[in-house]
Amino acid sequence: MKNSGLSFNSKKALMVNIGEDAGMEIANLIAEMAAEIEELRRTKVNVTRIVPGGNDAREHLIEDPV
């Protein structure tokens, strides 16, 4: 698994510019979000719809990506 947190230098820059508590809070939030995204990518399932009939049936099933 890749390192999903910020580098030491990035954390330090946040803490210096916006304060220690706020910088750590943002760094932790980013790390948690990155871990969640990695988990979603890892567990993603592709769905292939099987619909009997012609092209008319497919037009009703087209979904926009999320």
Alpha carbons 58 and 62: distance in angstroms, whole number? 7
pLDDT (average), residues 13-41: 93
Reported as a pLDDT band with limits 50, 70 and 90, residue 51 is: confident
Are 6 and 27 a contacting pair, CB within 8 Å?
yes
How big is the chain by its Cα radius of gyration, in Å? 21
- Cα 50 to Cα 4, 27, 45, 60: the distances in Å are 37, 44, 16, 13
What is the model's pLDDT at position 1?
43
Alpha carbons 42 and 59: distance in angstroms, whole number? 30
The rounded percent of the chain whose pLDDT value lies above 90 is 47
